[in-house]
Amino acid sequence: MKGTIAVKGMAMADVYPVCEIKGNIRAQKMEDVEVELKKLDEAKKGCMESLTRLIEKLQNETDKESAEILDFQLLLLEDDNYFGAIREIVKAQKVNCEYAIVSQSESYRSELAALDNPYLNERTADITDLEKRLLNVLSGGMEHDMEDGSWIVAAEDLTPSQVVELGKKRLKGIILEKGGLSSHCVILARSMNIPCMIGVKGALGKMKKGEKVLLDCIDGEVIIRPDKEALKKYLDYCEKMDEEKADLERFKHRETKTKDGKDMKVYANVSSETEIEELKNQGGEGVGLMRTEMLYMERNKAPDEETQYQIYSKIAKELEKDPLIIRTLDVGGDKHISYLNIPAEDNPFLGYRAIRYCLDHPEIFKSQLSAILRAGVCGTVKMMIPMVSDLSEIKRTRDMIDEVKQELDMAGIKHGDVAVGMMVETPSAAVMADRFAKVVDFFSIGTNDLTQYLFAADRNNEKVASLNSYYHPALLRMIDHISRCAHENEIEVDICGQAGEVEELIPLWVGMEIDNLSVSIPSIPRVRRAISCCSFEKCRELVKQVLHFSSDKEVIKFMREEKTK
């Protein structure tokens, strides 16, 4: 099977299919109700066994909050008002058990949401999670508790939260039938150094659970039941990677400088505090992007101010004097958080997301701002605002920050002098970069979204995703313009998108005088090595030539020829 390489590498392991039932599940009349009830009871048994194992594991890891959440799901399986009612629907209406699960889950969610009880209101998400668990067991797909062992997961697509959950297990690779090169699923896989291939047509229908698979994200193929030749290819790759790892060791803890002495920094993109140790092991010089939405996605309710403060301050202290740049909540797009009740949209990437949502929901936004400001006393903490498209959004954000500062002062709570920057990821912000540079403290160019908005090509739509080329002169001209505007106004400009770690483009970022690159943790030594091979003066000349090209093909050909010189 062929596909598109999203994260380079190779992996060999047994395959684990993730099959989720999607769309409307309709009622089907069933002649043998006892057969349906038996299926339902077996699904219940499977869920109870896996939930019990997972709860024990979480308790051993001292994750009591998550364990308590799953305890509630166990109770639901014994609750006559939930599971008992599902059985009654099957018996009374003589319908398929899948329909009974969906019907009763929807009814029970509505009942709990209508109660004047915040605790039970928040349990609606648990019903949704248990509903999915039951349906997945019935469909023969993956139940949430992946079995022990090393696995390559195959799925139609994965949400960011699924990648985070799976990444905590022994996940060796990801095969997706859909997906986009800059989807958040792929971004997270890259940050975890997990080989990933997208666009593998019919993958789920061709692989069975437990089959040995070679995921070759070098040549772009998936080999089921690999033969001796394929096995040799994998072993040769592992040997080559051992040599590469040894070479990169030299670049882990050295200063980031070009050959002619121009300083840069290599930061890391992170999603949680657990990644900081590995960041330091790889020689990261700070956090250039902390994706705070993951704090929200792994919970059934928004984290309160104190929870956020404890996490941000812990990271700031661990980084010592190195910067921690916290991106405020970037919800929406492909990052759905059910309890925030953002309505479904026809085009969520161009919809009600990120700063647009936060400014309308101060009860969510102000607690995050307060936590960031308080953490500012613990280190070099900065915040940046995502999805900015109009100057008024910066003004409204700064006004809200001032309100929070006053509230903290009145309460006698210390807070730091936190710089306020912005993601430059919309064409309007890029075009108006000269004006934005006067009202923020720094820029961070989000090349993933900027590229898809510039080319009007959804990065998750495989039919048009190829238009999103980081090599295209239109994008390169835009990044050069943003960098010039930043330096004319004496503020720093970073790149925190995927383009920042594309080795062939790093000479252009050096030549455009990008100050810092924020990349996935595994890429830190490789990016530093690429910078150290650059001459700043030569890179400036490369930029002048490249900006006169008309297509990405010309840029690719030119940069590859330069690399061989």
Rounded-to-integer distance, Cα 199 and Cα 181, Å: 10
485 is catalytic: no
How many Å apart are CA 347 and CA 178, to the nearest integer? 17
Contact yes or no for 194/222 (Cβ under 8 A)? no
Asked whether 51 and 70 are in contact (CB, 8 A), the reply is yes
| Short-list 139, 211, 147, CA closest to 175 | 211
The answer to whether 288 touches 444, Cβ cutoff 8 Å, is: yes
Name the active-site residue from 47, 97, 358, 496.
496
User: In sequence order, which residues have a C-beta less than 8 Å from that of residue 366 and are 6 or more positions away?
Assistant: 400, 403, 404
CA 458 to mean position of chain CA atoms: 17
Catalytic residue among 144, 184, 415, 472: 184
Residue with the two structure tokens 């994260």: 7
Expressed in percent and rounded to 5, the helix, strand and coil fractions of the chain are 55, 15, 30
Q: Which of 535, 452, 524, 471 shows the shortest CA–CA distance to 250?
A: 524
Neighbours of 317 (CB within 10 A): 13
C-alpha 286/C-alpha 378 separation (Å) is 14
Question: Residue 472 in contact with residue 479, Cβ under 8 Å?
Answer: no
Roughly how many angstroms between the first and final C-alpha of the chain, as a whole number? Answer: 36
**Secondary structure E strands in 425-522:** 442-445, 492-495, 516-519
For the residues of 42-77, what is the DSSP string, one character each?
HHHHHHHHHHHHHHHHHHHTT-HHHHHHHHHHHHHH
Beta pairing partners, 12: 214
Q: SS3 letters for 98-127?
A: HHHHHHHHHHHHHHHHHCCCHHHHHCHHHH
Collapsing DSSP states into helix, strand and coil, what is residue 2? strand
Q: What is the DSSP string of 532-556?
A: HT--HHHHHHHHHHHTT--SHHHHH
Q: Quick check: is 496 catalytic?
A: yes
Provide the b/e sequence for 32-57 (b: ≥16 CB within 10 Å). ebeebbebbeebbebbeebbeebbee
Q: What is the dihedral of CA 355, 361, 364, 370, to 10 degrees?
A: 70
Q: What angle do CA 222, 526, 498 make, to 5 degrees?
A: 65
| Residues catalogued as catalytic | 184, 496
